Every structure is written in C-alpha cells, then in structure tokens.
Homo-oligomer: A and B are copies of this chain.
Amino acid sequence: MDPRALQELLAAVRDGSLSIEEASRRLEESPTLDLGHTRLDVGRETRCGHPEVIYGAGKSPTELVEIARALMQTSGRLLATRLSPEGAEALCEAIPGAQHHERARLVCAGVPEEGEGLVLVVSAGTSDRPIAEEALWTARSLGAHAEHLADVGVAGIHRLLAHEERLRAARALVVVAGMEGALPSVIGGLVERPVIAVPTSVGYGASLGGLAALLAMLNSCASGVSVVNIDNGFGAGYSAALINRTQHPTRA
C-alpha cells in the first residue's frame, strides 16, 4: 500500500468514517480478482506501470478470453504471449481491437501511442526472427517506438558495421542470437546504450538448446550487456521499453 494511501486510511479510522474491521481487511488484502482458474494481480499496473501480461502457454482459449476480458476491464490494455493459433484466434474474436502478430505468437490490444526514443531489436539469423519479433511487439505494446534490424550475424561483420549509425541512435537495444551468441558482444562494443541480450534455441548438438548462446552472452567481454532467458523475447522487449521510457515516465 502506498504511504499516502496508508495515512489516508488511518485518518479515516481516526475520524470514524472507516470501521476497524474494514480497515483491517483492506490492510491485509491486496487487490486481486479471482477468476476460479486464475487469481489476477489487479494492483500490478499501479506498482509496475503495466498490467499483468498473459503467458499463454498451457492456457485454454476459454481461460485466455476470461483473463483478457478482466484485464481490458480493469486496465484497458492487453498483452498475451506464447499463444497457440487457437488461443490467438479466440482472443481476436473476443477482444475488440486486438491485433495478432503471428510470427511473434502474441496478441495485444489497447496499445498506447508511440513515445519518444527508439528501441532497436537486432537479430543474427533468419531463424532468430520469431523471438526478435516477440521483443519488437512487446516493446511496442508498452508504448515504445521500436524497430527491427535483421540478419546481421557476426560471420559477415560488414553487414553489421554498415548499420553502426542506426545502432547508435537507439536508447536501448535488444540483441537476439542463437548458435555461438556472439552478436551482443560486438554490438556492446559499438554503442553507449544498454544492451539486452536474448539467446535463442537456434542450433543443434553442443548448442544444448540455447545454453551455449546463453553462457556466451553472460560472459560477454563488452560492458553494458545483460541477459534474459533463452527465447525470452518478451522479457527483453519489456526491459528495453522500461529503459527507453525512463526519460518520459508515464506516471506522475
């Protein structure tokens, strides 16, 4: 509970406008909404600046729609990731204005207008695109102006260097790569902005499902690089959007 809200509540207790029992209940309970299958954390937007995001994996279309409706009612915004085609379709039918980004496997609605700044999502190979697009659309869902620079892996380093100026224009960079995961180190050495590195499960054999890229990124010799889970484009896009908007906070 917010300190100001707390003092107001205590004042209401003192002047008798609030019963002790009710005050006690309010102090003990956080705002949650129980949907039977899910206990929605309604206070998330107040605390974190963004309502809960739906992690779609393993949820039925019916559950997805119920949670999405509750979110639209309480916050007017929706972001659902890792959706099956059926789940995405159900959401698009149920939620007016919902957009489905197929390759990114996500649905969003109530996306705010693009703010200032630039989140640049950079990816190494063709197979890294789905994860890069998940990062891209997550950042846009949080109100960031976001762009994607694709297919600039380190084995053709000149492809990357041709875009040095664009790299340096971003306020936050998401760098997506599988296999040896070297791209964040090279980019981290070219820019003065934070880099969020996303290892992907692209590869085979000793890539160990993306662990090789993850370890490489954690050991980056460039400063200013931090890392999210394998294939976690959502998390990287979210962090980058938060970084981008430190300059123009959405809440007073």
Interface residues of A (CB under 8 A from B): 3, 6-7, 10-11, 13-14, 16, 20, 23-24, 27-30, 32, 37-39, 41, 43-44, 47-50, 53, 57-59, 63, 117, 124-127, 129, 150-159, 161-162, 164-165, 168, 171-172, 179-182, 185-186, 188-194, 196, 199, 201-232, 234-236, 238-239, 242-244, 246-247, 251
Q: Is the CB of A206 within 8 A of B229?
A: yes
Task: Determine the chain B residues whose CB is within 8 A of the CB of A232 once the complex forms.
Answer: 205
Q: Is the CB of A154 within 8 A of B189?
A: yes
- Measured in the bound complex, the distance between the Cα atoms of B3 and A24 in whole Å is 8
- Measured in the bound complex, the distance between the Cα atoms of B239 and A234 in whole Å is 19
Cβ contact of A37, chosen from B29, B126, B156, B186, cutoff 8 A: B126
Find the residue from A20, A189, A202, A219 having the highest chain B CB count within 10 A: A219
Q: Is the CB of B14 within 8 A of A20?
A: yes
Cβ contact of A50, chosen from B14, B37, B223, cutoff 8 A: B223
Q: Is the CB of A206 within 8 A of B214?
A: yes
Q: Is the CB of B246 within 8 A of A172?
A: yes
- Measured in the bound complex, the distance between the Cα atoms of B171 and A121 in whole Å is 22
Q: Is the CB of B20 within 8 A of A10?
A: yes
Task: Determine the chain B residues whose CB is within 8 A of the CB of A152 once the complex forms.
Answer: 39
Task: Determine the chain B residues whose CB is within 8 A of the CB of A29 once the complex forms.
Answer: 162
Task: Determine the chain B residues whose CB is within 8 A of the CB of A150 once the complex forms.
Answer: 39
Q: Is the CB of B218 within 8 A of A215?
A: no
- Measured in the bound complex, the distance between the Cα atoms of B76 and A211 in whole Å is 37
Q: Is the CB of B205 within 8 A of A231?
A: yes
* 6 closest A-B pairs by CB: A205-B230, A30-B158, A49-B192, A182-B182, A155-B189, A39-B151
6 more A-B residue pairs beyond the given contacts A48-B190, A180-B217, with a C-beta to C-beta distance below 8 A: A48-B188, A49-B192, A63-B126, A205-B232, A206-B230, A212-B212
Task: Determine the chain B residues whose CB is within 8 A of the CB of A158 once the complex forms.
Answer: 30, 43
Q: How far is the CB of A16 from chain B (nearest CB, A)?
A: 7
Q: Is the CB of A156 within 8 A of B126?
A: no
